[in-house]
A and B are shown apart, each in its own frame.
Chain A
Amino acid sequence: QQPVQSPQAVILREGEDAVINCSSSKALYSVHWYRQKHGEAPVFLMILLKGGEQKGHEKISASFNEKKQQSSLYLTASQLSYSGTYFCGTETLKAAGNKLTFGGGTRVLVKP
């Protein structure tokens, strides 16, 4: 089952902050975050393992609350290069191995 992302879209001015949320109905082992520019393949940003850790990539950071089965991606002091569609991918523990299921994406547009 796909994780649910919110909001579906967000428009920012350069330098503003934004939060993207990712929620799952299943217990999670890990959460991945990727960014996709138009017409390109998704690019890995970070992965969070269960344990509530927080990670960062430039001024983009994320948290993972395994009890709530949620992850949030924080875009801080956004730059024009942050524009794109952000996807969370979730892994649940399975005996046969993990598979990664993606959310519907959040479109981010950063304006000058």
Chain B
Amino acid sequence: DGGITQSPKYLFRKEGQNVTLSCEQNLNHDAMYWYRQDPGQGLRLIYYSQIVNDFQKGDIAEGYSVSREKKESFPLTVTSAQKNPTAFYLCATQQGAGTGELFFGEGSRLTVL
């Protein structure tokens, strides 16, 4: 089935640890996005990538890093520099680099203990 797979679905981490959230897609979409959602709040853009080997910072990129080595994959690393990482993280794809519907993965819930 075509779609977006995020893993893990739930993740617990200790303070000071880096963690990497996976996002894989087989939709052959060019653009990929990472959003952060806090309880009762909207979606805030962390990073996005329009093409392979290129990505741009979103509105809240500090403490996060990404890579886009393959079209299918856009992993997000939450580093120890992110002061409040507990949140719901959503990966999304878009067919072209321009306007079009976003397709979302099921999300990864990160809790820092």
Enumerate chain A interface residues (CB-CB to B < 8 A): 2, 5, 29-30, 32, 34, 40-44, 47, 49, 87, 89, 91, 96-105
Within 8 Å of chain A (Cβ to Cβ): is B74?
A: no
Interface residues of B in 64-113 (CB under 8 A from A): 90, 94, 97-107
Give the chain A neighbours of B100 by CB distance below 8 A: 47
Q: Are A99 and B99 in touch, CB under 8 angstroms?
A: no
Enumerate chain B interface residues (CB-CB to A < 8 A): 31, 33, 35, 41-45, 48, 50, 56, 58-59, 90, 94, 97-107
Complex: chain B residue closest to A106, CB-CB: B42
Q: How many A-B residue pairs have CB under 8 A?
A: 62
Give the chain B neighbours of A87 by CB distance below 8 A: 42-43
Contact with B58, one of A29, A32, A97, A99 (Cβ below 8 angstroms): A99
A-B contact pairs, 21 of them (CB 8 A): A2-B42, A2-B44, A41-B104, A42-B104, A47-B100, A87-B42, A89-B43, A89-B102, A97-B31, A97-B97, A97-B98, A98-B98, A99-B33, A99-B48, A99-B56, A99-B58, A102-B43, A102-B44, A103-B42, A104-B41, A105-B41
